[in-house]
């Protein structure tokens, strides 16, 4: 199997024709929507925190690793998340509460990737083919996983 085979799926469309699509991760829009609808709404992160840089960093190597990037990519590991946030603190001098929001956004990103992937595979479709109802369900299940793992309580602690 080639890398292209690993990241491309041929899926049956409702009208019966085939289409080739690259699928690796939910788009940035879905991650930002999850941040807003679950993390901000539930008071886990501040409303003015923009998680774009966190999500982009975490998905930077998606093409390199393919669909299993969240299991293979260093930036999805607890150590990688810590190093990423330390880098943000050192390079752009973010406030401690923003660093905590970034930690929570990163763990939310992991949960959303995991649940969205399970849902997509279960329905045998592409992320873009999931309905609004499917995404509401994905967001709900990802947030439950996030809470169950205690990620809503994570606090950034600078390295000494």
Which pLDDT tens digits describe the chain residue by residue (160 residues)? 232 333 333 333 343 333 333 456 788 999 999 999 999 999 999 999 999 999 999 999 888 887 778 888 999 999 999 999 999 998 888 888 999 999 999 999 999 999 988 888 788 777 778 888 899 999 999 999 999 999 999 999 887 6
- For the beta carbon of residue 108, count every other beta carbon within 10 angstroms: 27
Q: What is the pTM of this model?
A: 0.82
Indicate the burial class of 110 (C-beta count within 10 angstroms; 0-12, 13-18, 19 or more): buried
């Amino acid at each position: 199997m080639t890398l292209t085979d690993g990241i491309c799926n041929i899926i049956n469309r409702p009208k019966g024709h085939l289409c080739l699509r690259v699928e690796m991760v939910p788009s940035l829009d879905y991650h930002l929507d999850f941040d807003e609808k679950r993390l901000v709404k539930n008071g886990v992160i501040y409303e003015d925190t923009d998680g774009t840089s966190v999500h982009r960093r975490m998905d930077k190597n998606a093409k390199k690793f393919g669909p299993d990037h969240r299991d293979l990519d260093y930036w999805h590991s607890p150590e990688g998340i810590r190093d990423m946030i330390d880098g943000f603190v050192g390079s752009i001098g973010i406030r401690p509460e923003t660093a905590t929001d970034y930690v929570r956004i990163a763990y939310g990103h992991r949960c959303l990737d995991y649940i969205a992937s399970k849902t997509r595979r279960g329905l045998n479709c592409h992320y873009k083919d999931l309905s609004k109802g499917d995404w509401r369900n994905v967001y709900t299940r990802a947030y439950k996983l996030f809470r169950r793992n205690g990620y809503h309580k994570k606090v950034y602690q600078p390295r000494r």
